[in-house]
Every structure is written in C-alpha cells, then in structure tokens.
A and B are shown apart, each in its own frame.
Chain A
Amino acid sequence: MPNFIDRRLNPKDKSLGNRRRFLKRAREELKRTIKEHVKTGRIADMDAGRKVPMPARGADEPTFQPARGSGDRQYVLPGNREYTPGDRIDKQPGAGGTGSAAGTGRDDDDFQFLLSREEVLDLFFEDLELPDMVKLSLKEAVAYKPRRAGFATSGSPTNINVGRTMRNSYGRRIALQRPGRKVVEAIAEEIARLEAETTPDTTRRQRIEALREKLDLLERRRRRISYVDPVDIRFNRFERQPLPNANAVMFCLMDVSSSMGEREKDLAKRFFVLLHLFLKRRYDRIDIVFIRHTDEAGEVDEDTFFYSPQSGGTVVSTALEEMQRIIEERYPAKEWNIYAAQASDGDNISRDSERCAALLNGPLMRLCQYYAYVEIIDERETEIFGSTDNGTSLWRAYRTVDGEWPNFQMTRIARPSDIYPVFRKLFARQPTLQYRS
C-alpha cells in the first residue's frame, strides 16, 4: 500500500516569489514598455493587463555554450530513405540535416508574457510619485452586487425557482405518463360504485378485479414517477455585477499649437490618464471628449488629439466655448458628472485670458464637478516660476478663478512627479462636490 497524499489543497502560488523577483529584475525593460504604451495607447484602456515581450536584457543566463558553425560534428539521424555513403547534403537552411539536427527548439523572440492590471499600474505610477493610499484606492476593484442571470441546476435551497421547477416537473410527468389524480380517483369511485350495488354476479366481480388491478398499477406508477424529481429543480442564478454608478464625462482640453512639443504632449497625456483612472474607479460609464484648440477649437478623436499637428495662434476661450456647447447639446448636467482637464503651455492671445476666466466663473464652473488645469513648463523654468503668481496671462487669470471655486485646481508641471498635486483634492477622503446647481 503506497502512501497517497492529496496536494491539491496546498497553498497556491508557490512560484509567486520567483515571479516577483523576475519582474523586479526586468523592471527597467518593462518600464520602458509601459512608457511606450502610455505614449501610443488609448487613455481608456491604459489599465488593462498587458502583453509584454520577454525582456532580453537583465534576464539572460549565460553559460559556456558551443559555438555554431565551428568544428567537426557527427549526427546520427533516423529515417534514411535514399542516402548511401558519400552522398552530400547542402547546408542551406531548411535543406534538412544540420538545421534540424541542431535542434534549436524554442524561439524566444516572440515570447510574450502577461502583466496583470496591478503590475501595469504599479509601473505607470512609479514616477508619478503618488501617495500609497492613492495608489491603493486607484487599484481598488469595483464594488459588485449580485444580479439575476438565468437559471442553474445547482444552488442553495433559498434560490429555488418554483415556477421553473414546476414547469419541468409537469413536462416530465407528461412525458413519462404519470397518471393524474383525477384518473385514479375516477377508477376508485367506479370500484366503490360497483361494490355498492348489491347484486353480485361474476361479470361484475371480474370487472371489479380488473379495475382493482388497474388501480394498483396506476398507484404503483404514481409512486415510481415522483411528482417533483431532483432533475426538475432549477435555481435562480446570480452574477456579480459591478455596482451601477452614475455616468461621467471627461473633457480633455489641450492647446495643440506648435509650441506644444513631444514632451509637453506626453506629460499632458499622463495627466489625462490619471484623471481617467480616477474617474473609472468611481463611475460606471465614462465618456471622454477631446477638444483641441489653436485659435479655433474643435472636437476630435483621440488619435487626432495627440498626434495630428495643427498650426495657428492660440485662443483658449474657443475651447471653453466648444465645451460649453457640447455640454448643452449632449451632456445635461443633471444626468452627467462633468470633469474637465485642461493642458496648455500657458500661451494665449492677450485679452482672451480675461474672457476665459469669465467663462469659467460664469457658466462652466457651475456645471463642472471638477476642473483641473495644468500648465506645462520647461524644467528650467521651474525655479523661476516655482510658486509665484507671476507667469503667463492665462495663469494670472486662472488664479482669480482658483480663489473663487474650491473644485478648481491648477498647477505648473515640468516632470511627471508634478502631476499628482493637481488631483490631491480629488483623492481626498471626502471630496467637496457641493457646487452643483
């Protein structure tokens, strides 16, 4: 008698530690991949799990290996058909012989592995310098509640669906010809009637016998074919569904005039991604509206927004007007939570900045849950502009809005780690969202 051990219930993920170590080792390479992805991918699916090619650097394990194409070798191969000693076989790849004899096996080049959502976000957050609590709350899964989803053959007794069960039972009873109660009662009644008649004769006795037999048969049949059988029983099935949240719309406003270069756009994109991640956690459905502007604004798709160059002057208020128009047209503030994020290098045509402030102070801030403005500056400028109120005309104009509205946030950013402070309010435990009318 051998010793049997059931190991299936042993703790899982024995390799998790090894996998973590491997990821840590490949971190630089992975970070580069994710960065690339932030640049090219869509904002909305930034936090999906990702396939990443196996990083070559940092993960190789060198050993002393024989060099191909040196020395004399001998191979013994099976399946000779036509060769005789002295035959020569070309060494062209695919011509048989050496190529297959070397037995290269796997090709590492196309090997990809999957990063989970959490791992992707970890890498994404890395240089944003988010506080740990915020990281945690962004990764937090959505709340679920059970929702009816069809029927199942197994479940807990409290979930039995009586209607379905009885329907199945009825069908089965018909199919198996279970005698009904009325039929049995009718026969029993007839027997009683015949017995009640006083004059007994043989034919009647025979008839009673026959009926008794039939009754007995039916009774047995009724016993054998149960009224409700375990196969009839159906249970209500429930599926975990994410809790429906209200809808949100996120406006991305960006200045695309020629002064916005690659670096500025990359920073802006990270800023938009972060806002989107935050909103995704809170809302069931999020629409993203991209509005770009030079001296005139227009709604565009994501690709055009980030990649299609456009030249012209800069009139910021056009974007705000466009946003207001779209809100009125498609996103009534009663049904939608409106968030807006604006990225710009601060350039604006003179006198327009006042108009922007007026637009915000007027209708827009009343409609918006939250409005974030980032001004992307050169790293060299950080020291000059660090914390002063000086700066571009747009910055000065927005300062007045900032003082007025608690749900307005603005900051200057020069590197990724500057982005987070804009959102600090959003991640506060009790967001102040009372400014809706």
Chain B
Amino acid sequence: MGKNAASKLLFQSSDWSFKTLSHAYDAIETIALDELGLDVYPNQLEIISSEQMLDAYSSVGMPLMYQHWSFGKRFVFEEHGYRKGHHGLAYELVINSNPCITYLMEENTMAMQTLVTAHAAFGHNHFFKNNYLFRQWTDAGAILSYMEFAKKYITKCEERHGTSAVEVILDSAHALMDQGVFRYRRPPRLSSKKEQERARERLEYEEQTYSDLWRTLPRATGRPDPEEAERDALERKKVLNLPEENLLYFLEKNSLILEPWQRELLRIVRVIAQYFYPQRQTKVMNEGCATFVHYTIINRLFDQGKISEGAMLEMLHSHSSVVFQPHFDDPRFSGLNPYALGLSLMQEIERICNHPTSEDRDWFPQIAGSGQWRETLLDAWANHRDESFILQYLSPHLIRKFRLFLLTDQADEKYCEVASIHNERGYEAIRKALARSYDVGANQQDIQVVDVDLLGDRRLRLQHNIKNGILLEEGNRDATLRHIRHLWGYDVSLAGIDAETGDVRYECSTTQLGG
C-alpha cells in the first residue's frame, strides 16, 4: 500500500529534472484542460539562471530587446537590490506570445516548478489567450518576430547613424511611452515581417529617387483669402485628425523634422507600449486568474495523491506568502496586493455559485446558487478588465473580509476623511472607488495634441485635461516637454484645463523653458 502510494507521486525529491518536469506538466495539463476547461497557447518552458532572470527583468520582460542605457540602469538597480537581499527574484516570468514562453528559475525546487508551471503556463497563458483586451490589442503570434525586427533595425540604425543619435531619439520616445498608446481606438494590427520589409524597401526607394528639383517649382501666387485660410486650417486640423491622444503616433506621422528611420524608432517604442497596455489594465485579474488556477490545480493533485505532504506544504507556504495582504497601517503595506485581491474575488465567485447566502442572492441574482462557477469564471476572464471586473463582482462579503474603507484626500485640507467603511451604506461607494482606482485610462494624465498651426509658428499645442485637480509635477513636466520639442522641432506649449470647470489652471511652453 505504502509503496503503491509512493509510486503515484509525480516526484519524490526536491531536485527537478526534465523528466519530472514533464511528468508534472502532463498531470497539470490534464486537470487544467479537462477539469477547469482552460484554453491555452502551446507552451514553451525555458530554464534560466538568476542572472538571466535579472537580464529579463531589466529589458521589461521581453526575451529580445534593443539596447538602451535605461535598461542598464534598471539592471544595475535590480542587481543591487538582489545582492543586498532587499528583494528576491521572481520564480517565473511569462510572455504573452504564441507559443507562450515561460521562464523557470533553475534554483526552484521541484515543488516550486510544479506550482509555477500551473501558475504561468496555464493560468497566465489562458488569460493571455482568452481575455478580450489581449485578443484585440496585442498579437501574440507576431510579437517575437516584431521584437527581432526591432532589435535588428535599431542595431542597424546605430551602425549607420551612430549610437548617440539613436539614443537621443529613444530617450525622447521613452519619455512619452505612457502617452504612446491608443486607449479607445483599436491600433492597427502588426503587419507580418514580410509586409514590413516591403514598406521599408519602398521607403528606401523613395529616399533614393528623391529629386530636389521639385522643391524649386514656383508656388501658385495669389492674394490669401482670410476665409479660405480659416477653412484650410480647419481642413488641416481634420486631416491631422486632432485632437490626438497618442502623442508618439502624432509625432511619428506629423513631425516635420524627423528622418524616416527616426519615425521608425518612435513606432517601435509605441508598439511596445501598446503591447504592454492590456497588462497594466488587467493586473488583478491576470494574477488572480493565475493564482486561482495554480491553487485549484495543486489541491487537485494533492487529492489525487500525486504530491507528497511535504511538497504540498512547501507550495502552500509559498502560496500564502504571495497572497499575503498586510493592513494599511502595517509597515509592510504597499497598496492592495493584486494576487490577494484577484484570488479572493475569484474564490468569491466560486462560493457565490455554490453556497450563496441571502445577501449574495440580493447582490448577484444571476449567478448565486447556479453552481456554474467554472463557466462564470471563464466568462469573467474572457470579458473583463480590472475595473469592470471589480465593479461587477466585488461582494459585500469580500469588503468585510478585507475590511476595506474609503479615504478621501483633498490637497488643501490638513486631514484625510474616512468616507465609507464596510457597512451597508458603504459597499456601493467602496466598490465604485476601488474599481475606478484600477481604471488605468482614467488615472493616467490625459494629455492630447489639440492644435498645430503649420502655416504660422508651427507651435505644437498640447492640452492637459486636469481631472480632480491633480496637476503635473513641474520638474518632470518641463523635462518631458523638452523631449517633445526635440521630436517636434518647433516650440511646444502645454495648457492645463480643468476638466470640470474649463478653467485654465496653468500654461507653459518650451520658449520659457529655454534649452
């Protein structure tokens, strides 16, 4: 009997080998696909060392990345923290690509590798493949070849134009990365490598056949008609498609001073920013989904007798430290833990579907007691982002469990006020406020191109729509404006307009800044 039980175990010792990894993978896959009904990209598991993990960290988690000093700075920083023991390294890193690449650290024990495989290769992978944001806004199949192209292209530019010329463009583009995404309009799909090649060839052909003679043709003369000029300006504004929220896109298409290769650099930075935008909007859901999946799977494996008690304890220890949520007055507190919040939200759905209370029936009439927690979760994972998910599924029971409360902070007051707590009157307000705090689009600074007078001084006019009176930090603002000026070539001005009242709160321009 004892021998029989032991032989069912997926692994005995804590050391891993490719054989045990593959055994564990198969067992996990059976549960994930058959019992949880997950739908995943094919997996590619890669074993890496801690140094390679640091490398991956500093190049924003991409397996291929162009070279830039800021990645070196991040590497130095991470390495310093790691050496000092300020923070450990992640056990895994997963890339939204097809096939889905998961990095496993070589130091992990076999128990950790099992946990991490369930977490990343199935949890995150399912989320990447099925969530609507990723489906619509990123192209998992093309990203790796695009990064390969980007890296090669930038290297080629460095050879042709010098490292520092490339660096200044990238510096400026990086400063605008947050303003380099389409939030509402769907971005054009990444074209395949071949098409890009063709576009490049066409551009090179145009460069070669450019004839300076055309420039010398005399312009049509005539008295300028003010009305016509007005109409022209409106027309141009329409042609430029203003206002435009994606500053990088606008500069790439319309800047008057950039060379074709410089525009291509802007495009690369913009594409990468866009690629990561869904991840920022689904942090809680993504981690929650992965944590829920690994927690369910390891418990199933344990029930099936495939994991020893020792290994199970090790996994549970790691699991519970990941989902630990310190209270707001704890020195360890650094905001709500997305793992803890995500997992709890999803476990709540399971509970409400299976064992609802009367309160749940009031709040969630569609799903309470339906028993269809798998279907509900799969649907939520596919069709929500953090903001809508919290708005839909944060239950009073969970608010009480986390003892959430809402604090309002007005800049001109000396104190913060507790607005709502976990009671009948507070649930709605807390749910709404928490959901809003996960709305990346609403929380980011809304800065748009509103006007540019191409015939006159060519000053690029930006507008900052101030929400809730939150201004921009001045030192950073001015430095970033200088970067925009560098890409635009002419003066840039920024006006802060209060979104509610329409008052102009501040105005600044690069002419005042100098440099």
Decide whether A and B assemble into one complex.
yes
Instruction: State the A residues within 8 Å of B (CB).
Output: 1-8, 10, 12, 14-15, 17-25, 54, 59-81, 83-91, 96-98, 100-101, 103, 105-106, 111-114
A78 and B402 within 8 A (CB): yes
Q: Is the CB of B69 within 8 A of A24?
A: yes
- Closest-by-CB residue of A relative to B101 is A5
On chain B, the residues within 8 Å of A6 by CB distance are: 18, 46-47
Q: Given that A88-B416, A90-B414, A111-B77 are known contacts, is A3 also in contact with B72, CB under 8 Å in the complex?
A: no
Q: How far is the CA of A260 from the CA of B129 in the complex (A)?
A: 74
> Are B403 and A66 interface neighbours, CB within 8 A?
no
Q: How far is the CA of A111 from the CA of B418 in the complex (A)?
A: 36
Q: Are A62 and B480 in contact (CB under 8 A)?
A: yes
The 5 tightest CB contacts between A and B, nearest first, are: A79-B327, A22-B72, A71-B470, A18-B72, A62-B479
Complex interface residues of chain B between 392 and 434 (CB less than 8 A to chain A)? 402-411, 413-422, 425-426, 430, 433-434
A112 contacts B80, C-beta separation under 8 Å: yes
Decide: A86 and B72 in contact? CB cutoff 8 A.
Answer: no
Interchain CB contact (< 8 A) of B45 among A4, A19, A86: A4
Q: Which residues of A contact B333 (CB under 8 A)?
A: 79, 100
Q: Known contacts A88-B415, A90-B415; decide if A63 and B47 are in contact (CB<8 Å).
A: no
* Pairwise interchain contact A63-B175, C-beta atoms closer than 8 A: yes
Interfacial chain B residues near A113, Cβ < 8 Å: 76-77, 79-80
Chain-A contact segment, one of B49-57, B261-269, B293-301, B310-318: B49-57
Most chain A CB within 10 A, of B163, B176, B335, is at B335
Cβ-defined partner of A78 (8 Å) among B336, B414, B426, B473: B336
Identify which of B19-27, B133-141, B185-193, B356-364 touches chain A. B19-27
**For A73, what are the chain B residues with a Cβ–Cβ distance below 8 Å?**
408-409, 468, 470
Closest Cβ of chain B to A62, distance in Å, is 4
CB-defined interface of B58-78 with A at 8 Å, one 1/0 digit per residue?
110000000111111101110
The number of inter-chain residue pairs (CB within 8 angstroms) is 258
Q: Given A18-B58, A22-B72, A84-B421 in contact, is the A67-B468 Cβ separation under 8 Å?
A: no
Minimal Cβ-Cβ distance residue in B for A19: B72
Write out, one digit per residue, whether chain B residues 14-49 have a CB within 8 A of any chain A CB (1) or not (0).
000010011001100000000000000011111111
Contacting A75 at CB < 8 Å: which of B18, B54, B79, B407?
B407
A5 touches B45 (CB 8 A): yes
Given A14-B52, A20-B72, A85-B425, 12 more contacts at CB 8 Å? A7-B48, A15-B54, A18-B68, A61-B175, A63-B177, A71-B467, A73-B470, A76-B404, A77-B407, A80-B328, A80-B421, A97-B407
The smallest beta-carbon distance between B230 and chain A, in angstroms, is: 32
Partner among A7, A70, A96, A105 whose Cβ is within 8 Å of the Cβ of B46: A7
Q: How distant is B422 from chain A, measured CB to nearest CB, in Å? A: 7
A66/B473 in contact, CB under 8 A = yes
Contact of A72 with B409 in the complex, beta carbons under 8 Å: yes
* Interchain CB contact under 8 A, A71 and B469: yes
Cβ contact within 8 Å between A101 and B335: yes
Q: Cα distance A15–B49 when bound, in Å? A: 14
In the complex, which of the residues A15, A63, A89 contacts B55, with contact meaning CB atoms closer than 8 Å? A15
- Give the chain A neighbours of B71 by CB distance below 8 A: 15, 18
Q: List 17 A-B contacts (CB under 8 A).
A: A2-B25, A4-B45, A18-B75, A19-B75, A59-B69, A72-B468, A73-B408, A74-B406, A74-B436, A78-B336, A80-B404, A80-B405, A85-B420, A85-B425, A89-B416, A97-B409, A113-B79
Q: Given A14-B52, A75-B437, A89-B418, does the pair A66, B69 have CB atoms closer than 8 Å?
A: no
A75 touches B406 (CB 8 A): yes
Q: Check if B174 is an interface residue, CB within 8 A of chain A.
A: yes
The reply on B483 being an interface residue by CB < 8 A is yes
B203 part of interface (Cβ distance < 8 Å): no
Q: Name the B residues within 8 Å of A79 (CB-CB).
A: 326-330, 333, 402-403
Distance between Cα atoms of A114 and B327 in the complex (Å): 36
**Cα A188 to Cα B58 with chains together (Å):** 75
Would B416 and A91 count as touching, CB distance under 8 A? Answer: yes
Chain A: CB-nearest residue to B467: A71
A78 surroundings in chain B (CB, below 8 A): 325, 327-328, 336, 402-404
Interface membership of B110, Cβ < 8 A: no
A residues less than 8 Å from B55 (CB atoms): 14-15
How far does the alpha carbon of A59 sit from the alpha carbon of B70 in the complex, in Å? 8
B69 lies within 8 A of A21 (CB): yes
Contact A64 B480 (CB under 8 A): yes
B167 part of interface (Cβ distance < 8 Å): yes
**Inter-subunit contact B403/A59 (CB<8 Å):** no
- Which residues does chain B contribute within 8 Å of A101, judged by CB atoms? 328, 335, 407, 409
Question: Which residues of the other chain, B, contact A12 by a CB distance below 8 angstroms?
Answer: 51-52
Q: Kindly list chain A residues whose C-beta atoms are within 8 Å of the C-beta of B26.
A: 1
For A14, the closest partner residue in chain B by CB is B55
**Whole-angstrom distance from the CB of B159 to the nearest CB of chain A?**
14
With beta carbons under 8 angstroms apart, the residue of B329, B334, B433 that contacts A103 is: B334
B269 to chain A, nearest CB (A): 13
**Within 8 Å CB of A106, what residues of B?**
81
Min C-beta distance of B403 to chain A, whole Å: 4
Q: Is residue B477 within 8 Å, beta carbon to beta carbon, of the partner chain?
A: yes
Q: Which has the most chain B C-beta neighbours within 10 Å: A2, A84, A87, A90?
A: A2
Question: Which residues from chain B contact A15 at a C-beta distance below 8 Å?
Answer: 54-55, 58-59, 71-72, 75
A162 to B22 Cα, complex, angstroms: 44
